[in-house]
Amino acid sequence: MNKKAIGILACVIVLVCAAVFGGIYATRNIGKSEKVISEESAEKRLSRMVDKINPDTGVPVKSPIEYDSVDDEANELPDIDTCKVQVKAETSLYAEIFSSPEKAGSGTDGWLNEMASEFNAQGFQVDGQTVSVQIRNVNSGQALDYIATGKAVPEGFAPSSILWVDMLNAKGTTTETISESLVGNVAGILLSKETNAQIVEKYGSVDLKAITEATEAGEFAMGYTNPFASSAGLNFLICTLERYDLNNPLSETATAGFQKFQKNVPFVALTTMQMREAAENGSLDGFIMEYQSYTNDTMLSNNYTFTPYGYRHDNPLVCVDSISPEKKEILNLFAKFCASDKAKARATEFGFNSMNDYTCEYEPVSGDILTAAQKLYKTNKDNGRPVISVFVADVSGSMDGEPLIALQTSLINSMKYINPENYIGLVSYADDVTIELPIGQFNLEQQTYFKGSVENLYASGGTATFDAICVALNMIRKQMEEYPDAKPMLFVLSDGETNVGYNLNDIRDILSGLKIPVYTIGYNADLSALQSISSVNEAASIDASTDDVVYQLKTLFNANM
């Protein structure tokens, strides 16, 4: 073969090889979704970053586990003064009322505050003494805990829903109804107009049956709020269970139905804002909210349809335990004042009393069943899928003192709210990152190692927050290879300052690609920095002062762990 022929043959071989390998390269992602490609890219970048970080490995130390459930419940609660008094009493003889936020908040959520201020200005008297009321803004679930444990007991309790009163009675606290309804309200399912039309076309109407069936089939992503804290969330939970077994919402049939439904629920939101942001970003097709909040939000009322469900939220007022006749009379006078035509008209302006014709299709349930339903939720919310989670603890110099003590106390206390079927690890960070405890099933042995590792944390040095997040993400990713159906989540406990290593812009795409939610808990923190981390995958960011962080973590873990 002459040199010219050899040259031609060589060129042909080169062209063929280029075509083959070029084709392989060009088609390497055929059949893969953009999500898979994004995850692969994120994993590769993450692996390279973790290699550069080169985390240390700690030596886990055991510490015995001690739980005292009776004392713990009261001790977990912060001092009642962390819940704001919205209207102060103006007389020595007065009645305090714990009220839910939608009527004891600010702006259009401040109807009860306005009524209380006007009532106090009237100079009402009982037995010749001028009297007044004091309004304290307390979430219904938290108010239940205060009263049931005896840590803080007001004269009056005005939750959103009678369900909380039923649970309070079941826990041994006697109440007497002062008013069955201060103002009318209902909970509802919010759907975009397009989604609403699709559900109606396929299922004939929008109701709990249609929503649960669409969710079971994977056609619909439903979001709801924590049933341990939220009236709408508790209402949704018990009605969903009743949807599967009307006669016995705790039966095996109801449990199996709830598990199928829950399998396709992306997450249970800690707050309404977290749920709303997830819907706006396309992670949820539907979510729940009270009508009064819905109608006061122009964006929601213009873009979403509202379909009522479940038990009414009629904002009852009850007196608690054996209060004096004088204080009971104050509550009766105040309830009568709130029932005046003027007060009702003002309530309507605030968005209440708009769906008074709506009636619940379900029979009332006992407080014991509601409490058992919460426990059923806790046990079955993950449908047999374990949670794989790493706690990332800031031990930099700025956390020294009260912040670190609060972090340690809150983590150790909250351990009992983590299901033992889950897989848990611990990472700490200052200038460098240390894997304090590799991920392991949260059985009793892992719990003792976790407690010991938390107790041994100490503060010093800089703050490499995003380095630590990278290490934790990589730990979760590797564990997910063994349990691909598990639910990953990451918890960062910090004061929000970062001055060493990577920053959020360096890892934002990785977080987005891996889709692992990062919950942040701030200890006297730079909240904007922590909120930026959580917002990437629509997780919650908690402002946990040293006074209430223990209760905040309990609430978070009940919802997610």
The DSSP line for 454-471 is HHT----S---HHHHHHH
Q: Name every residue whose Cβ is closer than 8 Å to that of residue 298 and which is 6 or more positions away in sequence.
A: none
Token digits for 131? 């009297």
Per-residue pLDDT of the chain (561 residues; tens, 9 = 90+): 444 444 444 444 444 344 433 443 333 343 333 444 477 888 888 989 999 999 999 998 889 887 655 457 788 888 899 899 999 999 999 999 999 999 999 999 999 999 999 999 999 999 999 999 999 999 999 999 999 999 999 999 999 999 999 999 999 999 999 999 999 999 999 988 888 899 999 999 988 899 889 888 888 888 888 899 889 999 999 999 999 999 999 999 999 999 988 888 877 777 666 676 777 666 677 889 999 999 998 888 888 899 999 999 999 999 988 899 999 999 999 999 999 999 999 999 999 998 989 999 889 999 999 999 999 998 888 777 889 999 999 999 988 888 888 889 888 888 888 888 899 999 999 999 999 999 999 999 999 999 999 999 999 888 899 999 999 999 999 999 999 988 899 999 888 777 888 888 888 888 888 888 888 888 776 677 787 888 787 777 777 665 667 777 787 787 777
The distance of Cα 212 from the centroid of its chain, to the nearest Å, equals: 21
pLDDT of residue 29: 40
DSSP of 344-379, one letter per residue?
A: HHHHHHTT-SS-TT---SSPP--HHHHHHHHHHHHH
Domain regions of the chain by residue span: 45-63+385-560, 81-185+313-349, 187-311+364-379
The answer to whether 465 and 430 are in contact (CB under 8 A) is no
Joined tokens for residue 140: 């219904």
The whole model's pTM is what?
0.81
Q: At what angle do helices 504-514 and 34-53 cross, to 10 degrees?
A: 140
**d(Cα 5, Cα 401) in Å, to the nearest integer?**
82
Element (H, E) at 544: none
CA atoms within 13 A on the CB side of 46: 26
Residue (of 22, 183, 9) closest to 111 by Cα position: 183
CATH 1.10.10.10 fits 187-311+364-379, yes or no: no
Report the distance separating Cα 333 and Cα 182, nearest Å.
Answer: 12
Are 267 and 517 in contact by the 8 Å Cβ rule? The answer is yes
E strand map for 79-203: 85-87, 93-99, 125-126, 129-137, 156-158, 175-179, 187-192
Q: Which is it for the CA torsion 346, 352, 358, 361, positive or negative?
A: negative
Burial of residue 174 (CB within 10 Å: 0-12, 13-18, 19+) is exposed
Asked if 45-63+385-560 and 187-311+364-379 have one fold, the answer is no
| Calpha distance 267→273 (Å, rounded) | 13
Contacts of 231 (CB under 8 A, 6+ apart): 100, 140, 159, 160, 161, 163, 164, 187, 290, 313
- Measured N-to-C along each axis, helices 193-203 and 208-216 cross at an angle, to the nearest 10 degrees, of 90
Asked whether the beta carbons of 265 and 223 are under 8 A apart, the reply is: yes
Q: How many CB atoms lie within 10 A of CB 190?
A: 27
Contact, 220 vs 354, CB < 8 A? Answer: no
* pLDDT number for residue 22: 42
User: Would you list the DSSP string of 431-446?
Assistant: SSEEEEEEEEE-SHHH
Report d(CA 234, CA 538) in Å as an integer: 22
What are the phi and psi torsion angles at 494 (to 5°)?
-160, 170
Taking alpha carbons only, the member of 163, 158, 537, 94 closest to residue 360 is: 163
Spell out the CATH class of 45-63+385-560: alpha beta
pLDDT at 273: 63
CA–CA separation, 33 vs 39, rounded Å? 10
First to last CA, the chain: 74
Predicted pLDDT at 43 = 87
Q: How far apart (Å, rounded) are the C-alpha atoms in residues 463 and 444?
A: 32
CA angle 443, 249, 293 (to 5 degrees): 90
Q: Which CATH architecture has domain 81-185+313-349?
A: 3-Layer(aba) Sandwich (3.40)
Pairing of strands 433-441, 423-429: antiparallel
CB-based contact 293:230 (threshold 8 Å) = no
Residues 391 and 426: beta-carbon distance below 8 Å: yes
Residue 465 identity: T
DSSP per residue, 283-297: S-SEEEEEHHHHHT-
CB atoms within 10 A of CB 420: 13
Contact partners, residue 122, CB within 8 Å, separation at least 6? 337
Dist. CA 137–CA 112, nearest whole Å: 10
